[in-house]
Amino acid sequence: MKYRGLVFGGLMMVVGSVVGAVVAVALVGGGRAQAQDSTITAGSFYLFDGSGNGRASLATDSQGAVWLNLRAVSNEGGVAIGVAADGRPVVRLLDGSGRDRADISLDELGMPGMHVRDSNGNSRAGIWWDEANAEAVISLGDANGWRRVSLTSKGEVGGLNVYDSVTKRVYVGMLGNGYPTVSVGDRGGNARVQTTVLSDGTGAMGFFNAAGVLLDVLPKGSALLGPLR
């Protein structure tokens, strides 16, 4: 009996080792896993729930980025967390069809940003820090992905900007000198009409050509500064 018990125990140890190896191969998807010094190396890893549904994966793509994907049971909704080959991190929220609907990332210059997207992938709202211009930006886009409205804050100056498909056409905000200003531009982005409240509390309206030369000012003689560029 003692001998039979030892044989049975040894057999169970072998079976357990084989099952463990099979599970490890299933998790890495492809059977290429290698264990060295307690480290498992593989091209990809997959995690399944108790019903056999794929719920998570860890893999690299053709661009050299590495992705951790967490998915729902009934659809493609979930979260994707990745790092590009150049080190740029991103977190994406996916809808039931697997489309990116919101993301947080750093761009190639290390500037942080967040975008909310429609079902076509167009950014409809975004917030980011523009390092080059040292300003914070909140942007609203249209159905074609064009920026239409933005709020900016730079130093002690904040403003509201309204765009056509390409160019800023209207600005409402404060200038660096503390003057509240409304500026309206042409299709080239040149300010052509500018209304400002001056330091003495009086209002002034200036009219400019495309080169920024003051053509006229109301009231006459008002100390209106150059156009907002």
pLDDT tens digits, residue range 137-183?
Answer: 999 999 998 999 999 998 888 899 999 988 999 999 987 777 899 99
Structure-block tokens of residue 148: 């239409």
Question: 50 is written with which tokens?
Answer: 């108790």
Please name the residues in contact with 101: beta carbons below 8 A apart, sequence gap of 6 or more: 93, 94, 95, 116, 117, 118, 119
Query: Which helix H or strand E contains 20, and what residues bound it?
Result: helix 2-28
Report which DSSP code applies to 172: E
Report which of residues 228 and 126 the model is more confident about: 126
Global pTM reads: 0.71
pLDDT tens-digit readout, 181-203:
999 999 999 999 999 998 888 89
Band of residue 32 on the pLDDT scale cut at 50, 70, 90: low
How would you classify the pairing of strands 191-197 and 203-208? antiparallel
| Span 81-122, pLDDT tens digits | 999 999 999 999 999 999 999 999 998 888 999 999 999 999
pLDDT at 8 over 70: no
State the pLDDT at residue 78: 96
Q: How far is CA 183 from CA 33, 47, 148, in A?
A: 64, 57, 16
Tokens standing for residue 147: 């920026």
Distance of CA 189 to the CA centre of its chain: 27
**Residue 66, pLDDT above cutoff 60:** yes
- Give the integer Cα–Cα distance in Å for 176 and 154: 9
